[in-house]
């Protein structure tokens, strides 16, 4: 279907959260604080795991990649969301919407695969501790990381190209705070059943496939832990996996509500809250979770901060 007797949409209006000026200002301050904490926490993880000699292991190599992904992931939508909260015109061009959607899908899919790689790393560390450094060598870790980043390319290209090629001839108000698939899909002026089927299939492939790898890895991890004779060993093994499990639960639990049911019965406000949880809140919580539940990271942060303070004191 082409846009006969209608002008094709060239820009979209992002309705964001509210039209109340005071509420917009309050939300702007709140999200600015959250975004600042997100950047600070993830950059701190990146720096600490890069410079501290004790953290030059595959586990922290993947954690560094996860933090970098979170920074890129939030960069796609949060700055635009902050601008819209204090701007009278919440406009995004048609091309800009497609670009935002592409990178959102790209980084989201990449994170799914990276989380599965991190689960495999934990399985090797617990199941084959004596051969861990041999199996998870630098070359393999690098290939796994690159594969995780590149895995987002097919789904982002497919989803974005197909969706943005559909006819947009009527309404252009997106009831959301960024260009996400389901709310943009509502503006298409033709039957979208075929696209929804394709979107569900790609979601199952590019999101649930890595999730199934995580389930397999942790099933084998649990079996290995239960076979351990030492209670201390079991506790330590569970401790090394707990942070990753929390992050996986937060990310998949909220994202599945949106993408496994593109046209669910949730209200637009509820969908925005769900989207906020995995696009804004989870990236902020990830470095906090890994820092608070990991003594090595806490120790490395203290050493790094102490070193910087001492260097400044030496200057004076």
**Token reading at 115:** 């989380």
List the 11-14 sheet strands across, edge first: 91-93, 11-14, 173-174
Quick count: other Cβ atoms within 10 Å of Cβ 186? 15
**Domains of the chain and CATH, by start:** 11-314 (1.20.1070.10)
pTM score of the predicted model: 0.85
E strand segments, the chain: 11-14, 91-93, 173-174
Which candidate, 83, 97, 84, places its Cα nearest to that of 15?
84
- For the chain, the straight-line distance linking the first and the last C-alpha, in angstroms and rounded, comes to 71
Query: Would you state the pLDDT for residue 31?
Result: 93
Rounded CA-CA distance 216/58 in Å is 20
Query: Would you state the pLDDT for residue 164?
Result: 87
Query: Would you state the pLDDT for residue 196?
Result: 77
What three-state secondary structure class fits 264? coil
Give, in order, the Cα–Cα distances in Å from 154 to each of 8, 105, 224, 294. Answer: 27, 10, 35, 34
What three-state secondary structure class fits 14? strand
Query: Would you state the pLDDT for residue 78?
Result: 92
Block means of pLDDT (10 residues each) for the chain, length 316 residues?
64 83 88 93 89 84 92 92 87 92 91 91 88 90 93 86 84 86 83 78 78 89 83 77 83 74 64 83 85 67 63 54
């Amino acid at each position: 279907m082409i846009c006969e007797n209608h002008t094709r949409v060239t820009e979209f209006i992002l309705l964001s959260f509210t039209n109340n000026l005071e509420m917009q200002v309050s939300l702007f301050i709140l999200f600015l604080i959250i975004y600042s904490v997100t950047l600070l926490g993830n950059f701190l993880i990146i720096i600490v795991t890069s410079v501290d000699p004790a953290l030059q292991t595959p586990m922290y190599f993947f954690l560094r990649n996860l933090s970098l992904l979170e920074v890129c992931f939030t960069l796609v939508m949060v700055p635009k969301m902050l601008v819209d909260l204090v701007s009278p015109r919440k406009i995004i061009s048609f091309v800009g919407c497609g670009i935002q959607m592409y990178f959102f899908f790209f980084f989201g899919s990449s994170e799914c695969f990276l989380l599965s790689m991190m689960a495999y790393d934990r399985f090797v560390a617990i199941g084959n501790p004596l051969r861990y450094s041999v199996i998870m060598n630098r070359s393999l870790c690098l290939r796994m990381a690159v594969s995780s980043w590149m895995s987002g390319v097919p789904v982002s290209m497919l989803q974005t190209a197909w969706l943005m090629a559909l006819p947009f001839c009527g309404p252009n108000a997106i009831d959301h705070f960024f260009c996400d698939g389901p709310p943009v899909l509502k503006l298409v002026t033709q039957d979208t059943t075929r696209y929804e089927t394709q979107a569900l299939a790609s979601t199952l492939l590019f999101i649930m496939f890595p999730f199934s790898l995580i389930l397999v890895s942790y099933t084998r991890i649990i079996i290995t832990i239960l076979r351990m004779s030492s209670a201390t060993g079991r506790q330590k093994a569970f401790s090394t996996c707990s942070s990753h499990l929390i992050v996986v639960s937060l990310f998949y639990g909220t994202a599945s509500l949106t993408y496994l049911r593109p046209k669910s019965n949730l209200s637009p406000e509820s969908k925005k809250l769900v989207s906020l949880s995995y696009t804004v809140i989870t990236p902020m919580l990830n470095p906090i979770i890994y820092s608070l539940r990991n003594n090595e990271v806490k120790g490395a942060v203290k050493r790094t901060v102490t070193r910087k303070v001492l260097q400044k004191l030496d200057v004076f």
